[in-house]
Amino acid sequence: MKVAAGTSILKGIAIGTIRVYHKEETRTSRLSHLTPEQELSRFQAAQRAAQKQLEELYTRALETVGERDAAIFEIHQMMLEDEDYVGAVREALSTQGVTAEYAVQAAGERFSAAFSALEDPYLQVRAADVRDVSRRVVDLLTGAAPGGPEGEEPFILAADDLTPSETVQLDRSRLLGFLTRHGSPTSHTAILARTMGIPALVGVDFDDSWDGHTAILDGYHSCVYVDPGEELLSAMEARRRAHVQRAALLQGLRGQPSVTLDGTRTAVCANIGGEEDLEAALQNDAEGVGLFRSEFLYLNRKDFPSEEDQFQVYRRTAAAMDGKRVVIRTLDIGSDKRADYFGLEPEENPALGYRAIRICLTRPEIFRQQLRAILRASAYGNAAVMFPMITALREVQEAKALLNACREELKREGVPAGPLEVGVMIETPAAVMIADELAREVDFFSLGTNDLTQYTLAVDRRNPKLGRFFDPYHPAVLRMLKMAVEAAHRHGCWVGLCGELGADPSLTETFLRMGVDELSVSPTAILPLRKRIRGLDLSRREGP
């Protein structure tokens, strides 16, 4: 038996025959016997044909993976019309006397190399997209046929890499899983694989001789076993069946209320980092968005997002949730989340430094844009705003004053804004100790267990040497959470919990007995958490 490691894209198990797939390299002639005008005409015809193919792929992807992930093919269409890209092709045709396919291939390699050289991981991913688009046009120009494993039997695909279009076009009735030598967990191909529910590994140094051999792709342990023995095959097949049965049972909870046996109702919502997580939240039947991490709109870019940019994202999210509440946390930049264009100076202890609400209140020109965008989006759905890193009552009052000023501005401008609940993150001991005062100012609390643990125990959660001292189950942390819940309920505030502890089934009953009204977790944890809640009976007395 051979074993090879990789990076898991999706936790799952695939068992079947490996099919090694090598793309046929398209050969392009350099010099043309046609005029530059004729070659340009050939390019434009292939460009139109490629656009049509991409439109069809978008439609197919909509049905397979949903609007969020299908958007990659809209990006490909825009790339195909990009002025710089098309300009490079035109210049080569007019000055070098080359074929259209050679000009497209050269432009693709040039722009792909430029993206690959960037430090930003988000932009590096674009390199694969440029290659995908260019190959499509070259194949149309040369008449190359699309490739792929032949036959009718199910298979595990092994390839150097897969493009998003190749991934979407794979025969899902036969594809058990795939592994690639190249690629990354953040690539569009990986995102599509997760959405399509395909077990996959990237970064696997496989051997071509594996073709036709039986293999087990183990997404739980990030490895592939080739020619496994009968004992391992039997054990992994049992695990695979259990995984499938568990997933089917969980899907049966879609549309069911998150209510305990004694009738206690608790909303189970999703934590998301932007629109890219929205489809997963919907697929897992989130009862709302308990935490929209708006800072991700500010990361991986070179300048501040405009009010309009933010508004469109918030509006689409609120509309997609169709009346379910979307809690948008205002900018929580600083500490471990940094963007160079903010011009933040290095700090010896950034966790205790210039971050979150402290930046917003001292740089109101940034804060105003975000607050206006959130207010505008509230006219299109059930939105709420939440202020992070609160340590004093005056911080909430200042933030609310600015929010009200923005609402008045929009009113004067004739721009609609809907009702908007206002809340605060309870993630510092100071906020817990003044919870009664804070509850008089806001509509809800959101308990941030990650930072609350850090600040309560005086342990830097990013320091690997302190892992054994970072204890979110510490009695002091749990008592602070309970204190905050009790203070909120005394003043009519509802309470959500959006830290990582919310998905820990060993604490679900504890949180519900505290009176937490909403648990917000990663999308994949929603249905397991609902199952846990529906099996609890809070009318029974707690154990000794």
Whether 188 is catalytic: yes
210 within 8 A of 20, measured Cβ to Cβ: yes
3-state secondary structure of 506: helix
Handedness of CA 96, 46, 163, 211 (dihedral sign): negative
Q: Which of 269, 360, 406, 498 is an active site residue?
A: 498
Question: Residue 495: CA atoms inside 13 Å, Cβ hemisphere, count?
Answer: 30
Contacts of 207 (CB under 8 A, 6+ apart): 2
d(CA 274, CA 475): 33
437 token code pair: 């005062």
Residue pointed to by tokens 């025969």: 171
**Catalytic residue, candidates 188, 269, 406, 493:** 188
Structure token pair of residue 376: 């505008």
Whether residue 179 contacts residue 157, with contact meaning beta carbons closer than 8 Å, is answered with yes
Tell whether the torsion through CA atoms of 230, 234, 239 and 240 is positive or negative: positive
Which residue's entry shows tokens 């003043």?
Answer: 491
Q: In tens digits, what is the pLDDT along the chain, a chain of 544 residues?
A: 899 999 888 778 999 999 998 776 667 788 888 999 999 999 999 999 999 989 888 887 776 666 666 778 888 888 888 899 999 999 999 999 899 999 999 999 999 888 888 765 556 777 888 888 998 999 899 887 666 666 678 999 998 888 777 777 777 778 899 898 887 776 767 777 776 778 899 889 999 999 999 999 998 899 999 999 999 999 999 988 887 777 777 778 888 999 999 999 999 999 988 777 787 788 889 999 999 999 888 876 778 999 999 999 999 999 999 899 999 999 988 765 667 788 777 777 777 888 899 999 999 999 999 999 999 999 999 999 999 999 999 999 999 999 999 999 999 999 999 999 999 999 999 999 999 999 999 999 999 998 899 999 998 876 767 778 888 889 999 999 999 999 999 999 999 999 778 988 999 999 999 999 999 998 888 998 999 999 999 987 765 4
Label residue 302 exposed, middle or buried (CB < 10 Å: 0-12, 13-18, 19+). Answer: exposed
Q: Which three-class secondary structure string do you get for 61-116?
A: HHHHHCHHHHHHHHHHHHHHCCHHHHHHHHHHHHHHCECHHHHHHHHHHHHHHHHH
Of 202, 200, 195, nearest to 160 by C-alpha is 202
- Angle of CA points 45, 48, 51, to nearest 5°: 150
Cα dihedral: 54, 58, 59, 62 (round 10): 170
Q: What is the pLDDT of residue 121?
A: 58
Sign of CA dihedral 75, 77, 78, 82: positive
Positive or negative torsion for Cα 461, 465, 469, 472: positive
243 has catalytic annotation: no
Please state the separation of Cα 418 from the chain's center in Å: 27
Q: What is the dihedral of CA 152, 156, 159, 164, to 10 degrees?
A: 80
Q: Give start and end residues of each alpha helix (H) in 143-207.
A: 164-169, 188-196
